[in-house]
Chain A
């Protein structure tokens, strides 16, 4: 079985290095970051932290070099999905492509270029320490399911989940993977931009009652949009938000969007709050707070280009 990771940043590297440990899986990685690609090819892809792994795989910055693959796992930031999969689509003419990205709209973008798409949501997290070396911060589960308009066969979804599980990245194949996806999107959309706009860590956002009420307002809109689509959430985002606010969990965590804003990198707001607003419009569910937050974070991004 041959798997290509499309976008070998932190999360992509967790899948790439772990899958490369399996004898029956050949792993390729496509990433635009040349130094990372070179380091992987020279020394392997190293993970530290939650697990110590060195994965041997083939990395390339040239998508044309990718051979035909059984599976793709797209792990770019959401704004790069279209261009990355457009460049790599040839490798999946007979394969299935899964997304493990944040936000809404990635499956749709992938389906424009490949025939069999797998909806995915993943919770492990890490960060790039140096080219070829990724810190594995958090272990977590992954859920895969068919992307309904262009579904991969269930047997293939199971095959990918099984390989990930055997590689130490526990994954489940389910018939409807929208619940975990929306649970994560609602969580992220209700908390990430609040951190980004105020500069506060997750715990400090949650301990201000007026701000926590705003978070709930955002959650409620997201839940309404999910419900209008008949999506049953697999857990209540409110409970996850309160859990994460505990000192021993993620009180001091700076949301990735806050890190993006501090580094003046384009954020994933279009795929989080923007995605909730778009799906809300399609299903005639008003989302005024998500829209306001979306506009504010876009304004933050616009302020850098002046």
Chain B
């Protein structure tokens, strides 16, 4: 089994290191130095697991050989560029996108005729170095068919991921899960990025809890208008997550703290645009979307 993980951020690194326990793994990186470090030192996982995996890394997809499965795990902002790099390559492979928000599949789909799976992941980690990722939350990756794939194909990849030590689950239709996560993310990430608060009890009570509740309600109205029945109530996901006992720093908060571009377009942006398409008013999401974009502008 040959797996290529395209994008070696936190999530990509977690897949690559774990899958390397059960498959041959190639890692497509953006920087030469990153690939060199991985090839020399392997990829270390700490936190919930503790091991160092051997992977083959390169910035050139042609150097990675063929693949049965390509996991596209880059950040939303890097997706266009990465999809262009994949065009015409990895014939015979199944591609699986793992991105926040909506629309990653549509970006990748025109670039080739691979069978496509779509996925969302709830696991999280922290990048310690190019060759070291800390595995923080061992929550699942959810996988569903997107194009020329079946529920059985989704289950096969889920089984592979499970055998590597991560959690995964297959669904006949991913949209209910994808939308649940989108609403959760568009809410929690923007509030965290603007306040500087990690995802803790403040999000479930008092004034901020009210705001979070209002944002979730707007998201639910958009999902209803899109004909999607949510797999989980994003408000309950929020409350549950704040009771985990330790404070999680959502990626958008980490991005603004480090003055990096955020995934605002893919997360809140896709929700706001979907709402507009469906004629649903989302004044709170629109407000937070604008504020985060402006905050990005203040440092870029």
On A, residues with C-beta under 8 Å from B are 194, 197-200, 204-205, 208, 210-211, 213-214, 217, 288-289, 291-296, 298-300, 302-303, 306
Q: For residues 275 through 300 of chain B, which have their beta carbon under 8 Å from a beta carbon of chain A?
A: 283-284, 286-288, 290-291, 293-295, 297-299
CA distance A300 to B295 in the complex (A): 14
Binds A, one of B20-28, B50-58, B206-214: B206-214
Chain B contacts of A296 at CB under 8 A? 191, 194-195, 208, 211, 288, 291
Verify if B196 is at the interface (C-beta below 8 Å from A): yes
Chain B contacts of A205 at CB under 8 A? 294
On B, residues with C-beta under 8 Å from A are 191, 194-198, 200, 202, 207-208, 210-211, 214, 247, 283-284, 286-288, 290-291, 293-295, 297-299
Q: Known contacts being A197-B291, A299-B194, A306-B197, is A292 close to B297, with CB within 8 Å? A: no
Smallest CB-CB separation from A289: which chain B residue? B287
**Additional 4 contacts, C-beta under 8 A, given A208-B290, A295-B211:** A194-B291, A208-B297, A299-B191, A302-B202
Cβ-neighbour of B197 out of A204, A217, A303 (below 8 A): A303
CA distance A200 to B291 in the complex (A): 10
Cβ-neighbour of A214 out of B196, B197, B287 (below 8 A): B287
CA distance A293 to B291 in the complex (A): 10
Smallest CB-CB separation from B207: which chain A residue? A295
Smallest CB-CB separation from B210: which chain A residue? A295
Contact assessment for A210 and B290 in the assembled complex, using a CB-CB cutoff below 8 Å: yes
CA distance A200 to B287 in the complex (A): 16
CA distance A17 to B158 in the complex (A): 74
Contact assessment for A299 and B287 in the assembled complex, using a CB-CB cutoff below 8 Å: no
Chain A contacts of B293 at CB under 8 A? 210
Nearest-CB distance from A219 to chain B (Å)? 14
Contact assessment for B290 and A211 in the assembled complex, using a CB-CB cutoff below 8 Å: yes
Chain A contacts of B207 at CB under 8 A? 291, 294-295, 298
Q: Known contacts being A200-B298, A208-B297, A289-B287, is A300 close to B196, with CB within 8 Å? A: yes
Cβ-neighbour of A303 out of B196, B211, B295, B299 (below 8 A): B196
Chain A contacts of B214 at CB under 8 A? 288, 292
